[in-house]
Structure 1
Amino acid sequence: MLDVSDPRAHRCVNADCVNTPGSYSCVCHDGFAKEGDSHTCTDIDECRSLNTNDCDPLHGICTNTPGSYNCSCQTGCYTTDNGRTCEDLNECMTGNGGCERLCVNTKGSYYCQCGVAYVLTEDGHSCEELDECAAEHVCEQMCVDKVGYYDCSCGDLFTLNLDGTTCEHINECENGHKCDEHGDCVNTEGSYECSCHPGYKLDKDHGKRHCRNIDECAIDNGNCTHLCVDTPGSFYCACPLGMVLDKDMCTCLDIDECTENLAKCSVNAYCNNTSPGYDCICNTGYSGDGIMCGDMDECLLGVDRCNHNCHNTPGSYTCSCRQGYLLGPDGHTC
């Protein structure tokens, strides 16, 4: 037996030495190979080719070792024969794969889904409801989110059109407005107003829906010079007896009943115009209220100025003297 330090000892590495007449040869261990007459055997990488290992060709993992190799399976697979055969691991069978809603198994892996109306969050497992209104929608006014869809709606005093997206203003003037009979309904955007007829104004105590009569006579007597008469929605000027309304329908002018022959005085009286009205004054020699004037008997009343005899006449009297006297020029003295 030669010492290993002896220059005549063999130089086989990773191989068995086989003695031959006058020499020796090196026979590589399993999993090693050498080139030509080399004494050194190097490791064979069985993993470099599918033909040099029996690991699962689809989901197996080959790990080279000195003189051999090991088989294992990719993540998502399992083996019962040390990696020679790899079977898919259905992660969805255990805790639904950690998915909140839907778990979809794939070869060697899995993924989570949320289904209609939900969206997968960044963690890849949780789901959030999809707000369709937050995305682009076609509603003209308001969008109402539903699970899996959205509806359009309209604000107060609007109605949704048949297209389901646009809104049309409700004409309150055609659908039960609250303006009273003294006002007209005026439709506005989203509401309506009451416009009162002339002579009326909106009453704030009734939500501006009731029209109250304006008393024009309460302000400057309606510009009437004498009498102001308020009527529903209007007014008119009137004059006392003996006056007439001028063309301006406000000013009262005196009627001269005397010159217009409207007075009802006695034929034995004269007319004296006043404003308004007139007075009837009995003529001299008559007495009464002016409308009826009777003859005054000056002789009987003793208001004559005759010296001797008094003779009553309609509206006056005459004087005469006793025999032997003559009536003077003044018609009274004898």
Structure 2
Amino acid sequence: MYDTGLRHCKKDEFACSSSRCVSLRFRCDGTDDCGDGSDEASCQNCTADFFLCERTGSCVARAKLCDGRPDCPDGQDEGADACPSGQHPAPHTCSISEFSCGDGQCMPHSWRCDHSPDCADARDEDDCDQNECLVNNGGCSHLCVDQPMGFLCDCPAGMRLVHDSQCEEIDMCLDSDVCNQLCVHVNGTFSCDCHEGYLMSPRTGECKAKGDVAQLVLSSSEGVRRVNTAGMEYREMAAHLLGPGPMAALTANRTVYWARPGQGSIYRISMDGKPLEPVLLLKGHGAVLGLAVDWIHELLYWTNADTHSIDVARLDVSAQRLLIGGLAMPTGVAVEPLLGFLFWAEGGSSPRIERAGLDGEGRLPLITSAIWNPVAISLDMPRRLLYWVDSGMRTISRVGFDGQHRKTVVESNGYLDRPFGLAVFEGHVYWSEQDTHSICSADKHNGSLFRVILPNIASPGGLVLIHPVLQPKGPAVCGNNGGVCLYECEPDLFSGTSSPSFTCIPPKGSSGDDVDDTVVSHTLPGPALSDTTSAGILSLIVVLSVLLAGVVLWWWREECRPSRTLDLQDFSLKESQDPLIQAPARGMEVCPVKDTLLKLDLDHY
């Protein structure tokens, strides 16, 4: 079923933008059946060697039909109508946490033996008197508890169960969302701090960027414009670049990149001085849905819905290449070069969010369930969290860079029904909304403090925030081995080899024996915020003497003494049932904060 906003459309119907449902046979037939032309939008004339995806109007090579991988967003090219009799898709392998039905369909292991058939052949309710924990541990990541009928997954102390079968560590800082950036949780007390380049507001505890007010650049059908985050100084940048295309920026030279929707052309725009003519960088590269700039290695990444790939080029466009192929419907893309991470989102029949190295190697799925149509992603680098906006579920959610600590932070209140762009800065999340023609913001922790920054924007599109703190300089992870170059990390992505890579370059005049000295080991972060906690503790040690810190910690232990064992029932929320605001665990005492620590104003959380 497809939700049009007012009613549900059937599987064989097309969801018009006007909320009307029409038969898929009317899609791309040359007649406006929706009344608003949406059933004829973006349609292509497919030749005999191509197959028409009726729901989107795109063309897929017939060689890709029934190859086991959906190329149409709704998987139509792998359906019974598209595949000739006797031809079947390639077998699909279920994950360790899934159960394989007789027809190859995958079901969560937790649905097995629950007295409700979920497989078409009811295979998930067969042989339920056996010990399911003996096979792949029942799909449980940690503890599997056999029951007289079925089984249950459980977690050790200090962890909680998510999505019925996976355990993740409990992070009280992330669960409480008291702190804006750095957080230290000791004996029930939270202490907050800010990264370099930010100052803490004494009134709200929010980390505010030093220097000028950040600029929010947006695309629309009226051109590329900018406004500051306060909603003031609304100005035009490029009146001739029309359309709600994706955007990215290089803060160092105040340059913005914009992609023309549907044409695959990427432009460069300067923010300095008088409005200048945009520079055409790339032309004819398919349907570009997402852009991201690696400011350390000066690379531009983009998603290409036509080639089902993520591509990369130098910012001077001296070289370019396809980096990751075989994707279903890639949409948003983001990059964190200091940690060596590339992130992207996919829609279509198997929506997901994944992570890889900057060279496209070492892919890791972060979100694969309870996700419908992620249209844009953005990074909160100080907290190492990825945010995404889902136009199907009408929500904004977040997850750690390691795929843990998922939480929904904003639900639709009428201003999140057809989102397009997304950005995160300081304590807020920003998004563009096409149904209400507006640019909105809300608190990044829980969706409070909602406001409309700009109303009456014609077809608002991509967003990008401009401020120096968003692209800090520093040693970058060079490749997938976790090494950091002492001198320079050179991307070797365009040499024509099949395996792109990053290489540490020794200084000029050094001998070959010195090459090993150009790399130092660097351990990438595990669970989100585990290293920020260490950074917060270190900052306290710098501020306080070792003796004073010891006295404070001794006082905490004597005064509070909370139980170290947390009730797992307090954290047993499923991945698809995460609350907008998570309450503190029962029995968790909050100790008074001494005058030597920052007293937080929690009224806005």
Do both share a fold (TM > 0.5)?
Answer: no
TM-score by length of 2: 0.12
Tell me which protein shows more strand as a share of its residues.
1
TM-score by length of 1: 0.21
Say which structure, 1 or 2, has more relative contact order (CA 8 Å, 6+ apart): 2
> Whose Rg is larger?
1
